[in-house]
Structure 1
Amino acid sequence: MPISAAATSTDATAPAKSHYVILDGLRGVASLLVVVFHLFEAYAGNDPRKQIINHGYLAVDFFFLLSGFVIAYAYDDRWGGMGRWEFYKRRLIRLQPMVVLGSVLGAALFAFQSSTIYPKAPGTSAWQVILVMLIGCTMIPMPKSADIRGWNETYPLNGPAWSLFYEYCANILYAVGLRRLSNRGLGVLVVLSAVALILLLVMGKRGDLIGGWSLDADGLMIGVTRVMFPFFAGILLMRLGARVRLPGAFWLCSLMLIVALSLPRFGGTERLWINGLYEAGCVILLFPLIVAIGAGEKQSDGPSVRVARFFGDLSYPLYITHYPLMYIYVGWVVDRKVPPMQGALAGLGVLIVSVAVAYATLKLFDEPARRWLASRLLTRRP
């Protein structure tokens, strides 16, 4: 079942500013947790209580929070000399090359992904796969009638791309109006969206934040609710200067994030609201604290900074390219009833391959493509 991450680093196409390297690194840690979460799904089935990285889907909400923070940091003070179209071009340059590659990779591996858990729609032709791939490259969400896999995904060749749709929507909302709001007005939106999030978690059908990838009423409600609070709160955190200086910030924040996403599900099947309260606490309280601690350290060198920079660079390519491999791995485990030890060894191999593919695509495609696009599309200033 696809979760994803809206991975937005301090924008390399924005006018030069120092990066929050620790925050970039935390996004990389969360991306790795997403991959491990998906690997463990092969043995969890539809029972969330069996999932090892139980709350791994909350990485999406953490990414949305980081996105709001770094978007405000990179652009809040640039609007005097930058119009909305310039902003849109910068965001497209940052995000779209890997969206295209993820869709192409999903189409290339589609023939190897047929399984009982990930079936193909009967009679799916190569031309249908190509059409879905091309639509996926544009980020136009697809209805159920275009789903060639049967999971009601808006992007059936690369499920995690759904959060990029909400990332783009949030970016447009920021450019159109959020950037003009006072801190008080933004604070009102943060409070209202927090209430909506709590209601979804406590009063909803599941008691968790799983969902958002379907183009139907429930999917849209979950997706919109998930992006609103963290994105709004991220902008407000940056504007208020929320910074907490602690030694070893990267390692401390990484540990907090790993523990929060790995704890078992609370409340069982009878008291879903307990798990809902836990996840609300993570998104509304813990994640902003982690971001504030991560933003309190802006070192330019040191072992932890180098590790953070590496994983930060890797995070977005890893998130957008790993899932086509998950379709194959999870289908293999389920259909063959692979024993856990054998599956763990194969899963480790899939993790290594996912990281290698992400690094290769970063260096051989994403960075060159962004440089090429920036040289031709962005306004040149003396």
Structure 2
Amino acid sequence: MHGYLRLVLAFGVLAYHLGYGVGALHLGPICVVVFYILSGYVVAKLLDRFFPPGTLWLFYKERFLRIYPVYALLLLVSAVFFFGAGIGQPEATALNVFAHITVVPLNYFMFWDVAVLRSINLSLLPTAWSLALEIQAFMILPLILRSSVAKGLLGMISLVIFGLSVNAVIDPNLWGYRLLPGVLFMFLAGGVLYKVLESHAADGAIFAKFYLLTSWLGVLASCLVAWSIGRFQLGLPSPALGFLLGLPLAWITTNKIRLPGGAMAGQLSYGVFLIHMPLIYAYSFYFKAEVKSLTCLVAVSIASLIVSWLVVTTIERMVWKWRRSITNSAASHSRVRSAEQSVEARSQLRFASSWPFRLALSLVALGSVFAIFQARVGYPLVRTSPIPVNAISQSGDGVFSASLPFTKHRPNPVHLRTRLIENGRSPMERVWSSSEVRRSTEGVYSTSRSQVWFKTSDGTDPRTNGRAYALVFPLVPPLWLEIGGWIVIVILVPLSVSIGRRQCSVASDSRPHAVPSATCG
């Protein structure tokens, strides 16, 4: 039944992009979050049934064939339409072409200019940003799902990030919906749900149920806290509601309830999800009509189904044979692998235990933690920038202002951590607005995203009193470096756990009559 659920969700996103919704709740984010849960479920199912340990590269190959051929074909169709009709002032640059071909950078459209349609600031397939997010999840989920420690630790960290976003402590649109650190626990919940409902493995069932219950209650608690302090609407509540509804919905519609045509419905959902936005623009362009109408909803829905059906009966049918051969190859590879695993494990263990590898791993981890800490806290690296006398202007009432030496706004604004010092002495007193500076007597300052307002310590003119004024502000690393740090941490934790478990396994295999160490789990 998951196939039908996917198709309904795809049409839900379509309706959302036509302007339909329920009050302040956005139907699109709710449906996308349920897609996250189902994607985690699919990954766990594939790993359990077709891709045992040692066949990870075959898993990646199968996922590539599932995602990329259909995406590439619909991207080509969309490009021909937009460039042919001239809708949205399409413009190809090296960056946006690279982003569309490799897909993953589309998830970072809020940081990099990957838009092709300049006048509306969209990519050729606007919904592909969530596909890029799912690809990132597919890359790391196989490394996490087989380790209870990694699932629990990373899932709880992600849940905390999501909870902060629900309460608008951090940007809810980024960390609660679009970036992997804040939604990773949703993918993991789907994978754990498979273990509870369908996996034949008996180990870890108690942990799996505990994880699902903790995640669901954690999101509910975050929403209740946000509601009680009046920040629920600020925290983008739709993704939270999507998880609260989507997890029970995925449980109810598990594949133990089978309906005819479910596989075809699931295949159609992918094409409908990707192509409906270009079809909406095509309807508006050719019919010159309002898109929020029943006529447009029916027309775009039918057109999306037709395009998706053509893709399924051509590209997907051909690719399915290749994907089937990969799963068969994974099964045969697993049988051969079991005979060679002991020797290979010892070889890998020697490499993982070597001091150069451990040193490199430690340096990368420390560098990632430092980059994240510097970006979030703003210490220990700071910069002092003197304010030239000719850059100071008077704003009246003894208040003077100058431009800040940085202009880019970050999720944690740098200006809130900027200090103003006079003659190299301790910082002046900060107040929170320029109006407070005007009401104060002397020796205070306030900052905005581009300006600093201040009064000198004795009320004199800073342009003529002979004193030096300087701004001290944190050096914030580029956003790509911070994101890279999070990705490295997400990868290194399960990698370290995997190495530790491998050491236990090899040690136990070398002593067949010994009782495994309690630390092996």
**Is 2:175–2:182's contact at 8 Å kept on the other side of the alignment?**
no
> Do residues 181 (structure 1) and 181 (structure 2) align?
no
Question: Paired residue for 2:186?
Answer: 230
User: After superposition, where does 1:53-92 map in structure 2 within 5 Å?
Assistant: 54-76=26-48, 78-80=50-52, 82-92=54-64
Q: Which amino acid aligns with 2:137?
A: A
Q: Which of structures 1 and 2 has the larger relative contact order (alpha carbons within 8 angstroms, sep 6+)?
A: 1
**Is 2:145–2:151's contact at 8 Å kept on the other side of the alignment?**
no
Question: Paired residue for 2:250?
Answer: 291
Question: Paired residue for 1:162?
Answer: 129
**Is 2:96–2:114's contact at 8 Å kept on the other side of the alignment?**
yes
Out of 342, 346, 358, the residue aligned to residue 296 of structure 2 is 346
Q: 1:288 to 1:362 in 2, by over 3 A?
A: same
Q: 1:358 to 1:337 in 2, by over 3 A?
A: closer
Out of 116, 120, 143, the residue aligned to residue 89 of structure 2 is 120
**For residues 95-153 of structure 1, what are the alpha-carbon distances to aligned partners after superposition, in whole Å with 9 as ceiling and x for unaligned?**
111110121111011136656xxx326xx3xxx38995675233252664442223555
Question: Paired residue for 1:29?
Answer: 8
Larger C-alpha radius of gyration, 1 or 2?
Answer: 2
Q: 1:228 to 1:332 in 2, by over 3 A?
A: farther
Q: 1:81 to 1:224 in 2, by over 3 A?
A: closer
**Is 2:18–2:291's contact at 8 Å kept on the other side of the alignment?**
no
Question: Paired residue for 1:273?
Answer: 232
Question: Paired residue for 1:94?
Answer: 66
Deviation at 1:28, TM superposition (A): 1.1
Q: Distance in 1 between matches of 2:330 and 2:188?
A: 31
Q: 1:168 to 1:192 in 2, by over 3 A?
A: same
Q: Which amino acid aligns with 2:247?
A: P
> Do residues 321 (structure 1) and 275 (structure 2) align?
yes
Calculate the TM-score normalised by the size of structure 2: 0.50
Question: Paired residue for 1:249?
Answer: none
**For residues 259-285 of structure 1, what are the alpha-carbon distances to aligned partners after superposition, in whole Å with 9 as ceiling and x for unaligned?**
xxxxxxxx99x9551474853652443
Q: Which amino acid aligns with 1:180?
A: R
Select the structure that is richer in strand. Answer: 2
Q: Distance in 2 between matches of 1:61 and 1:78?
A: 26
Q: Which amino acid aligns with 2:167?
A: V
- The total of aligned residue pairs comes to 300
Q: Secondary structure at the match of 1:316?
A: helix
**Is 2:279–2:300's contact at 8 Å kept on the other side of the alignment?**
yes
Q: Which runs of 4+ in 1 moved over 6 A?
A: 48-51
Out of 328, 346, 365, the residue aligned to residue 315 of structure 2 is 365
Deviation at 1:233, TM superposition (A): 1.0
Q: Distance in 2 between matches of 1:328 and 1:50?
A: 28
Q: Which amino acid aligns with 1:234?
A: G
Name stretches of at least 5 consecutive residues in structure 2 with no aligned partner: 200-225, 333-521
Q: Distance in 2 between matches of 1:220 and 1:296?
A: 28
Q: Which amino acid aligns with 1:32?
A: F
**Is 1:160–1:320's contact at 8 Å kept on the other side of the alignment?**
yes
Question: Paired residue for 2:159?
Answer: 194
Name stretches of at least 5 consecutive residues in structure 1 with no aligned partner: 1-21, 42-47, 212-217, 244-266, 300-304
Q: Name the stretch that deviates more: 67-76 or 366-375.
A: 366-375
Q: Which amino acid aligns with 1:34?
A: V
Q: Secondary structure at the match of 1:231?
A: helix
Q: Secondary structure at the match of 1:354?
A: helix
Q: Which amino acid aligns with 1:293?
A: I
**For residues 22-52 of structure 1, what are the alpha-carbon distances to aligned partners after superposition, in whole Å with 9 as ceiling and x for unaligned?**
11221111011111211236xxxxxx8878x
